Structure 1
Amino acid sequence: MDIQYKRVLAGSLCCMTLLSACGGGGSDGTAPVAPPVITPPTTLPPVSSCTASNQLQTVTTGTDLSFMIESHYQVGQSAMILAKLTNRNTAGLRFSWQQTAGPALALASVNSPLLAFDLIEAGSYEFTLTTQVQSTNQQFASAAVQINVDASQSNQLNVRLDHQVVENNDISLRLGRKNNQAIGNISWCQASGPTVSLNLDDKEKPLFTAPNVNQDEVIHLIASGEFGGESLTDDVYLLATQESSISSSYFDTPVARTHSYTQSSYSQILTGCVYSNQLVNACNVMTRLPLIGQVSPNASRAAIMDRVVVSHDWMGKNFEAFLTQVDMNSDFAKLLQSVTAIVISYDIRPSFYWVVTGAIYLDPENLWLTPAQRDTINEAADYRSDFGKELNFLMPWRYVKNNQYASQSFAKTQRQPRTIADLTPSLASLLYHELAHANDFFPRSVHSNIQGPTLLDDFSRRNNAKALISDQLSANFPLLSQQMYALAKVSFKGDTATSLDKSYQSSDVASFFAPDKANDYYAYTSTREDAAMLFEEAMMSYRLGIRRDVAVTDKPANASADTIVVAFGQRGRIADPSIKSRVSYVLDNMMPELNSQTVLAALPPVQQMTVGQSWAANLSLSNPSPANAKAAKTSADAQQPLTERVNNMPLQLSGDHHGKAQ
């Protein structure tokens, strides 16, 4: 479908001819990777048209700003206010909304020309919008707007989220449930604006691509459904914005509008150097955008935040809170010295590191704290979702602590908040992984020797000399299973599965994986991922006491933690004696401050999973002897529900948390 097609293209950025390393291609990760073969998408029919009963009203202000407001606001409504400009589009301006009167609202889209919010109290509200010219930081216009909110008078649906999207970028919407119950007989139609085509495979979550527009255009959609015997509707408004023509061979599909989170000497160049459809030449690492560690060898949190680029301010705020509350050992502060920037945007999925810009790109799904923040994140599927679908095995993983999941699952259908502690396991593991790539390519030990003019030039010199940490890891401690390498190309790079690949059962794959020295299936994607997986797992165990499970299982038609059966599985595989030397090498080169032998000594011994039990039943491990394994299995199977169901954790498969080092 269209949305997946675009995601595949976006995921192929690493495959441009200007790039030398894409996390894979050969086992050494040095060969350029050809873009995956893409089947042209099936054209979706336009959504049906309908007539709106509510029309937007225009409020003038005596300035170059005017506002489009809804005809009626009431408690319980998901609503919006849209800013319009006289004789110009919104591109090139920075928007900043502030609520100045009324009961406090949870505002997560304050940097957009379209302000969205949920109304929970009646009353009079006022908002002030200030706009600045991005290139000069000069104020363009400022104005205020008022709305009145009535006490709820009628039942209604709530579609989240009204928002701005650049032309030809991907969009997702989500129809909220009522009292945690699904809406029946859901339908969608379009009342006005340039025609769109919706993918309604999941009617609660329509996916589509913003149309190409000649000027900023408002798209008005209406969702309808039934609940409690009553027919309900909701209006949703999207602002599709005209942007400059794409001139970048790096970012050749539309990217979201982003901005520097702080005002600093780098504010004017950050976005243009790391996330722009106009990036033609990689920025000079010596004079324009150096690595953080080249400027600040002992980077403070403030110096790090000056390199953060976001699509929404809450992303930078939550990232800073994480560093403040969690990075007590300064691991991330040290590792972040090897990047030029941290980009967090609603349209990034999956997270990745990219050598051309020297930046890490983070999926904000790992950072939201409130339902309002989560509403702003695009739910388009990871472009790799269908890779490996013809293979007959699975390789699940999870992080655990004290025989329980280290993370908690928060269903998108339920509007629950979470804390920094809730997101720490997921975000910490992601950062350890992506920053391992940055420190593999440019460890702090080489910062003083970087010559430029671009990071890609320096990478090429290091790569040609086989000087990367991952190169040396592979040379000294190579992975040996050619079968696993071949399967990884299918699962993670989209290669076509051969008849031999398809014939392998879980027991076959277990016999390939178990005796080799990788700690995860994803390690076979490239030498780069091999090193990053070792570093990630070691640091999670040492710093947070969180251990990683990995297994080979069968692949039933309805795969879930309760139905897949373990053919081989271990907890804390990096403590295996045959793998420890590999872990030690990576730690000594990426984090020399740590004594790798101390880290290894602190690793709990490997625990074996019970073959023949489900993945869920293997959550609680006590290494049962063969004599009592059958009794343990019977006891686990009798649990209703199993711990996995209690925690409501989705099944995670190898590689689904990370993009490739690019």
Structure 2
Amino acid sequence: MKNSYLSLLFVTIFLIACGGGSSTSQTSNQSTGETPVQTTASIIVMEETIKLDQSADLVLFSPNEPLSNISWSQTSGESITLLAKNSKVVSFSTLIAGDYSFNVTFEDSNGNHHSLDQTITVTNELSPMSLRLSHAVVEQNAVSLRTYFNEDINTDTIKWKQVSGPSVTFTEDDTDGKFAVFFDAPTVTKDTLLEFEVSLTDNGETFTDKLAVLVENSDIEVLTTNDAYFQNNRVATVFPYNPNSPVADVLADCVYSNKLKINSNACNFSTSPLIAHVTKTPTVDDIMDHVLVSHQWMGDRFKAFLETFDNEHNDFKNLLRATTAIVISYDIRPSFYQSYTGAIYLDPDDLWLTPEERDTINQAPDYRASFGSDLQFEMPWRYVKDNNYASFFPNIRYRLSRDIEDTLYSFASLLYHELAHANDYFPSTLWDNVNRTNKIESIAYNRIVQNAIQSDYLQTVLPLNGDEMWDLARVRFHNDPPANATQKSYRPEDIANFFKDEGAPQFYSYSSTREDYAILFDGFMMKTRYNVQRDVMVTDQNLENIAWGQRGREGEENIMPRIELVVERVLPEFNDLISALAELPEPITIPSGSNFWDTLALNSPAKNTIAKQLLKQSEQQDPRYSPVIGRPFNTQHLTRMELKIEGNNNEE
């Protein structure tokens, strides 16, 4: 979320450029009964007549007066779902032709209640392309826009254009500018509308689609100093999933606000308690009292996940006791845990079930993707089950829906990982032995500098050695420092020799002592709860030549004692831990010289060429789905202060 500081465009230009759909207004002052007060707000539609398969967008525009208590509702037409009905901008997919009417109610700064209505028409004409998603965003927050089109379209004809508003710069280093663009919303002094248009040519005919991004002014400054919790990063506006939660009024200010500064306005456990401080046996509803979301559907999906998959062992409810909050927002990428707030921050990409829900998520690439790109090796990993990928992800261009069961393994592994971090910093032994009036950041900081975190103890009694791997991890995962000449010269075979006899399940374990701890936990839990194993390999950069690899590395004799130490501390409720460790299968060697993609089925019964060919054909997947494989990074990152402290620890 890099910042751009750009100029304003006057409201009259917006109304001309966007066509300004007509809207009718009804106003009242319910508190005084006085003569109705007119509003200067209006509804803007990008196009009053819209084709099928496009996105219909409505903007409640009020640059000159603040609005609150916004609520959209549909009043006529084929029923649709509004995923941001309390936002100033709503969008929906046009799947059925007809007229659609909407009403929005809101209050002005004086408490006057207003109501506006708008109708749009969806024609029977099918569009070969669509542009998504019109939405509201706080100034300086990250924005992603994506176009969808028929497979036979000549992509060379696709053109993006900004039509109005302060000029923004597309980050085309991360995208080819055809399928998606990413940028940071400009700084504004009042609500400001940006309009974009995409055009393409098909069979000699040019088609266009438009959308709007409403940039909202914020009175909260984005802090650039080193003591800022979210330094240089504008965070989105979030709200409590349960508005009647005991912590609803304080939670956002305590865990997801640009106001937060070290040694300044941080909260304590009295104000923002751990869930364990409220109850040691939380229900799903207890958990949801501590959830903040940018969109209602994100909380709905998280709740459904817990209700569906956390009944037998209650792992996630027990692990969540070590958190103060669960923040799920469209702008969180990647997921992370923050010790200074005691909260976990989840990328909702593992939660969406419909393409419309997916549209609301920022899709910019992980900012760390290019770190260590000049190293001559890769260490890919994947979760597998029954000789197949454990999870598949719908390719974004096909706009497919999925079932909640499709999210199980990817989201479960994420939760096990992030919640291991939470229980590393604030384990069950600390819950009743901490001064709740002390700031959370102070408690966390003191535990860090005193090497009192559980992962510090692991590194003391069962350390990861291998100086080469620690140094390479600093390059690959932190880009600090960049690779030196020796590191650039290492071949996959060199890395295999450094790594294979170590006590780490995978390369990312060397990113920090905290990651080492969490990866030991998540891999074991995925195996013992779901019979999902992790493959880890050392390959060339193209993943075409495996120098070394293993499936189920958690079963190594020098790794199992480290797992035992971690699980005992992260999840004391885990029964029969020793038996579960004893039942871990011995690791399976992945054939060297093989291609990453051709090593999925190990110990295959097929022994002849024809059988192998038939097996390979049977394993071919629907091209609309991609297997989930380990990216260069897991999904946790640390604050700058923690990186500095932990980096020094790792260098000792």
TM-score range, shorter chain: 0.7 to 0.9
Tell me, yes or no, if structure 1 residue 505 matches structure 2 residue 502.
no
Aligned to 1:18: none
C-alpha separation between the residues in 2 aligned to 1:94 and 1:483? 56
Aligned to 2:49: 73
Aligned to 2:118: 146
Whether the 8 Å CA contact 1:107–1:372 is kept in 2: the answer is no
Whether the 8 Å CA contact 1:75–1:120 is kept in 2: the answer is no
Q: Deviations over 1:270-321 (max 9, x none)?
A: 1111111122435332321011111111111111101111111110000000
| Shift in alpha-carbon separation, 1:100–1:87, aligned structure 2, 3 A | same
Whether the 8 Å CA contact 2:46–2:212 is kept in 1: the answer is no
1:89 Cα deviation from its structure 2 partner: 3.3
Q: What is the correspondence of 1:191-210 to structure 2 with a 5 Å cutoff?
A: 191-200=163-172, 201-210=176-185
C-alpha separation between the residues in 2 aligned to 1:638 and 1:259? 50
Tell me, yes or no, if structure 1 residue 109 matches structure 2 residue 84.
yes
Aligned to 1:406: 390
1:180 Cα deviation from its structure 2 partner: 7.5
One-letter code aligned to 2:138: V
Aligned to 2:435: 451
Aligned to 1:250: 229
One-letter code aligned to 2:182: L
The runs of at least 4 aligned residues of structure 1 exceeding 6 Å deviation read 49-54, 631-634
SS in structure 1 at match of 2:23:
strand
SS in structure 2 at match of 1:399:
strand
Whether the 8 Å CA contact 1:521–1:654 is kept in 2: the answer is no
Q: What is the correspondence of 1:222-261 to structure 2 with a 5 Å cutoff?
A: 222-246=197-221, 248=223, 249-252=228-231, 253-261=233-241
| Shift in alpha-carbon separation, 1:377–1:431, aligned structure 2, 3 A | same
One-letter code aligned to 2:279: S
C-alpha separation between the residues in 1 aligned to 2:605 and 2:468? 31
The equivalent position to 1:648 in structure 2, one of 626, 633, 636, is 626
SS in structure 2 at match of 1:175:
strand
One-letter code aligned to 2:79: A
Unaligned ranges ≥5, structure 1:
7-40, 44-48
C-alpha separation between the residues in 1 aligned to 2:126 and 2:416? 49
SS in structure 2 at match of 1:190:
strand
| Shift in alpha-carbon separation, 1:472–1:345, aligned structure 2, 3 A | same
One-letter code aligned to 2:48: H
The equivalent position to 1:486 in structure 2, one of 457, 471, 476, is 471
| Shift in alpha-carbon separation, 1:524–1:438, aligned structure 2, 3 A | same
| Shift in alpha-carbon separation, 1:499–1:443, aligned structure 2, 3 A | same
Cα RMSD (Å): 2.9
Unaligned ranges ≥5, structure 2:
7-12, 28-38, 643-652
Percentage of identical aligned residues: 37
| Shift in alpha-carbon separation, 1:461–1:441, aligned structure 2, 3 A | same
Q: What is the correspondence of 1:200-599 to structure 2 with a 5 Å cutoff?
A: 200=172, 201-246=176-221, 248=223, 249-252=228-231, 253-263=233-243, 264-280=245-261, 281-328=264-311, 329-452=313-436, 453-495=438-480, 496-555=482-541, 559=542, 563-594=543-574, 595-599=576-580
| Shift in alpha-carbon separation, 1:232–1:320, aligned structure 2, 3 A | same
C-alpha separation between the residues in 2 aligned to 1:604 and 1:470? 25
Aligned to 2:97: 122
C-alpha separation between the residues in 2 aligned to 1:582 and 1:524? 14
One-letter code aligned to 1:207: F
One-letter code aligned to 1:80: D
The equivalent position to 2:23 in structure 1, one of 59, 81, 86, is 59
Aligned to 1:616: 597
| Shift in alpha-carbon separation, 1:476–1:161, aligned structure 2, 3 A | same
Whether the 8 Å CA contact 1:617–1:637 is kept in 2: the answer is no
Tell me, yes or no, if structure 1 residue 186 matches structure 2 residue 158.
yes
Whether the 8 Å CA contact 1:282–1:454 is kept in 2: the answer is no
SS in structure 2 at match of 1:552:
strand
Whether the 8 Å CA contact 2:23–2:118 is kept in 1: the answer is no
Whether the 8 Å CA contact 2:63–2:190 is kept in 1: the answer is no
C-alpha separation between the residues in 2 aligned to 1:430 and 1:139? 43
| Shift in alpha-carbon separation, 1:401–1:290, aligned structure 2, 3 A | same
1:203 Cα deviation from its structure 2 partner: 1.6
1:182 Cα deviation from its structure 2 partner: 6.1
Q: Deviations over 1:128-163 (max 9, x none)?
A: 3344799xxx97635252314243246453100011
| Shift in alpha-carbon separation, 1:192–1:641, aligned structure 2, 3 A | farther
Using CA pairs under 8 Å that are at least 6 residues apart, name the structure with larger relative contact order, 1 or 2: 1
C-alpha separation between the residues in 2 aligned to 1:108 and 1:129? 14
Pick which of 578-587 and 75-84 moved more.
Answer: 75-84
C-alpha separation between the residues in 2 aligned to 1:119 and 1:180? 21
1:197 Cα deviation from its structure 2 partner: 2.2
C-alpha separation between the residues in 1 aligned to 2:615 and 2:308? 41
Aligned to 2:139: 167
TM score, norm. by length of structure 1: 0.85
| Shift in alpha-carbon separation, 1:105–1:51, aligned structure 2, 3 A | closer
